[in-house]
Amino acid sequence: MKKKIAIIDYGLGNVLSAQQSFNKVIKEYNLSASTTITKDPNLIDSSTHVVLPGQGAFKSCMSGLEKVSGMVDSLEKFALKNKKPFLGICVGMQLLAIDSEENGKHLGLGWIKGHIKKMPTKKLKMPHMGWNEVIPKLKTKSRLDFKKSDYYFVHSYYFECDDEKNILAHTNYGINFASIVFKENIYGVQFHPEKSSDQGLGLIKSFISL
């Protein structure tokens, strides 16, 4: 069956960069898949995979998503009810949390129990920008395959999970923080796989294969 990958455009994610990286993987590995950038909630139901990019502030991203009529409901049906593969990138990952403390307290989607906290700033440059190692949790298994390697980050806040079981990998920058979170079919990565060389493309390939 041909995979249909919907990349959600709500005005606050680098959707073209995400699409280009997915298309590169599809072409390189001759995968039976296609990508669509969409603002149409009606296209979500017919998709096999959904990607939610995000950049900027948490509140702006959540507000942008809610302003697209019917989008949140369609995404919840896709991910929570139909349990199809879902990937949040950067702030798209953070939106999976219950809430965020960035510029006040703001509610997220609440799909994965946890809270978005500010990175400790003592003796550290902010934002956390550049290459850093993503280390898999050895006792945590999921269908998403990725390798221990350096990936590209740009962020000042991190996902503090209520349950350690939702952490698939961690990274150290002053503290150990969750760099990949997951719950069943739902995945979130704090880094940018589309900017992370071959290892990032490998993670994208694994996601398409889910």
Consecutive 10-residue runs of the chain (210 residues): their mean pLDDT? 96 91 97 97 96 94 95 98 98 98 96 96 85 90 93 96 96 95 98 96 97
Name 77's Cβ contacts closer than 8 Å, sequence gap at least 6: 44, 45
pLDDT value at residue 125: 84
As a whole number of angstroms, the distance between CA 147 and CA 193 comes to 12
As a whole number of angstroms, the distance between CA 152 and CA 75 comes to 27
Q: Which of 128, 155, 170, 192 is catalytic?
A: 192
Active site residue 192: yes
Q: pTM to 2 decimals?
A: 0.96
As a whole number of angstroms, the distance between CA 89 and CA 39 comes to 17
Q: Which of 106, 128, 170, 194 is catalytic?
A: 194
CA distances from 85 to 5, 120, 200 (A): 10, 32, 17
User: How many residues appear in the chain?
Assistant: 210
pLDDT value at residue 178: 98
Amino acid found at 81? K
pLDDT value at residue 13: 79
Domains and CATH numbers, the chain: 3-209 (3.40.50.880)
pLDDT value at residue 144: 95
Q: Which of 49, 61, 90, 128 is catalytic?
A: 90
Active site residue 90: yes
